[in-house]
Structure 1
């Protein structure tokens, strides 16, 4: 089967399975690079792809400067494509199955309290000076992620009908396309209520969506990315990337440092697998600190 047709068939299958638009785009870019690499190297058919082709492509990516995490993501996309080809009986075995992921030095960015204060103060100054909707919206986006850990896509799709001010919850469609309910604090509920009042006064007609563009239409992924890119440029932090996901990580970090149980953190972060949650707890949980304080060898030494 010709690679270009197999690639299109795979994307159509993912659309049929209701894969998110962002994941489809991810496949188009990351898997598309591999398809183009194969064709450029005269591998025209799926049946001609070998273990060596996949490994050589990943080596090529490494030489271009791709980090271990990026290479591992590309490997996952290639495996998914070739697994689909096995399901369709185009090939008998997945040649990428035996390629092991690279060891990745895990560094998860989080914001300090001072950095968070700087960002919120930045938007407060603009809002007070210019009475700008955009500044208030961006301020509330940050506050909402810090208060709930919701994802970028969930911010984009959040509607006022999803916000329950009485029971203090918000409902989101999570990563697995299932509706999930998240508790919000009294503080966040009051912030959202004040923001809703401002939106009604500013727009006249309240949009269905909590966060909208300058023309009162739903935000796009690109628009949200530009918000955080602009903020990152203004803040110019040297040690951390300003993104929606960094705010989500910061939410998780504060939960782990507070001593919250891994089970509770998993529920609030909505991780499908608790092993993901445990990775955060292992890095940030205060249990390690407490155990070290209790059993450290220096405790019994006169120094």
Structure 2
């Protein structure tokens, strides 16, 4: 039965210490796939065919899912069916015969205008009513922009990870291991100022071990961060870019590339598993580098 097989799969992911965020993502996508199967009277995993998976993905596309989203769903379904093969519940994985959809290579980044608009919005709020949300969300944006960390990594940040003396942050990364990255004096000042505000707001002895919390002084969740940016997006009303934590990460990477930072250094800061990932970003923004070089090259002002 499909529903029992799904529960066994979730239990297996949990046993293998897969992060809760990843398990939740599996559940969200596979629940949709399960519903599609039931609607087509498929209750036994042995009855899932290539056409079943293709039909589901086609329906997702009709509902507005882009190639990146449908590929992500295919990846999750494929992992589930691979598990069934490993457990000898089914003989072959029908989704292995499905090729990924061609994705448009377009990565959104914030312009300097976007960044100034967002920061100025929170500055005005801080000056007007000294809102906890304004202080927290302003510091959150500065942290994203200055470090390029992921949303989950930000919510896992603890004050004990903030090393002022050595100017670095300890990150609990995507691969479920701790890594250390350097941080700038500006970020140190912003985090130190925010820490002082939290101590005054919650009480020095009530400071939460996590840097970013909600108004009740409890650890901020990744969904809460997502909702913060959804609200900010409505206020900013940008027509040309998506307001999300990952857009900040892409912006950090782009700015580093445009400033001339080495690919190796960017890989270490972004904590990409392979330098080929970083090289794809570098190739993507190569035209920007050429434009900058054409505009600012010192030979422009020399008569040769």
Pair in the same fold by TM > 0.5: yes
Structure 1 partner of 2:298? none
Distance 1:214 1:287 in 2: 41
SS at match of 2:179: strand
Structure 1 partner of 2:61? 62
Structure 2 partner of 1:239? 240
Distance 2:260 2:125 in 1: 36
SS at match of 2:290: helix
Alignment pair present for 1:10 and 2:42: no
Aligned-residue CA RMSD (Å): 1.8
Instruction: Write out per-residue CA displacement over residues 36-74 of structure 1, whole angstroms, 9 at most, x where no aligned residue.
Output: 212221222111211121122212222222211111111
SS at match of 1:181: strand
Alignment gaps of 5+ in structure 2: 295-304
Is contact 1:110–1:250 with CA below 8 Å preserved after alignment?
Answer: yes
Alignment gaps of 5+ in structure 1: 294-303
Structure 2 partner of 1:297? none
Runs of 4+ in 1 over 2 A off after TM superposition: 285-288, 290-293
Structure 1 partner of 2:181? 182
Map 1:36-51; keep pairs closer than 5 Å.
Answer: 36-51=35-50
* Alignment size in residue pairs: 293
With over 3 angstroms needed to count, the CA separation of the structure-2 counterparts of 1:223 and 1:292, relative to structure 1, is closer
Is contact 1:259–1:287 with CA below 8 Å preserved after alignment?
Answer: no
Is contact 1:123–1:136 with CA below 8 Å preserved after alignment?
Answer: yes
Structure 2 partner of 1:102? 101
Is contact 2:258–2:289 with CA below 8 Å preserved after alignment?
Answer: no
Structure 1 partner of 2:214? 213
1:292 Cα offset (Å)? 9.1
Distance 2:90 2:78 in 1: 13
Is contact 2:170–2:178 with CA below 8 Å preserved after alignment?
Answer: yes
